[in-house]
């Protein structure tokens, strides 16, 4: 009986520790910093990696700084980023023109 109670206690303690690690580990993964004059939240592992993952930076349609020739989707996304102080990489796109 004592053996069963010890095992049960170990299971309960292990679950409590794992729950605490998950809860506090997730909180620790988000940080706040100032981006273009606005305090924003970001997953610290993804901060500054937008260009690495965004399809646009490997796409022939992407002409940042040239609004007339730039992809209209990219123009709209950029405007949303400016308006709402967000960063939105493109993960999937039907018009992707691979230049790499």
| Residues lying near ligand SF4 in the complex (CB under 6 A) | 55-56, 59, 61-62, 71, 73-74, 90, 93, 95-96
d(CA 6, CA 28): 32
- Quick count: other Cβ atoms within 10 Å of Cβ 4? 8
**Beta carbon of residue 94, minimum distance to ligand SF4 (angstroms, whole number):** 8
Three-state secondary structure call for residue 3 = helix
Instruction: State which residue, 37 or 94, has the beta carbon closest to ligand SF4.
Output: 94
Q: Give least dist CB 85 to ligand SF4, A.
A: 20
DSSP string covering 48-79: T-HHHH-GGGGBTT--TT-TTTS-HHHHHHHH
Give 42 or 73: the residue with its C-beta nearer to ligand SF4. Answer: 73
Residue 40 CB, nearest approach to ligand SF4 (Å): 22
């Amino acid at each position: 009986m004592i053996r069963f109670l010890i095992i049960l206690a170990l299971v309960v303690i292990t679950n409590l520790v794992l729950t605490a690690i998950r809860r506090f580990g997730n909180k620790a993964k988000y940080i706040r910093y100032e981006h273009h004059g606005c305090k924003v939240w970001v997953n610290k592992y993804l901060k500054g990696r937008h260009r690495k993952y965004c399809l646009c930076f490997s796409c022939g349609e992407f002409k940042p700084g040239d609004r007339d020739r730039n992809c209209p989707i990219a123009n709209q996304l950029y405007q949303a980023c400016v308006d709402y102080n967000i960063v939105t990489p493109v993960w999937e796109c039907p018009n992707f023109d691979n230049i790499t």
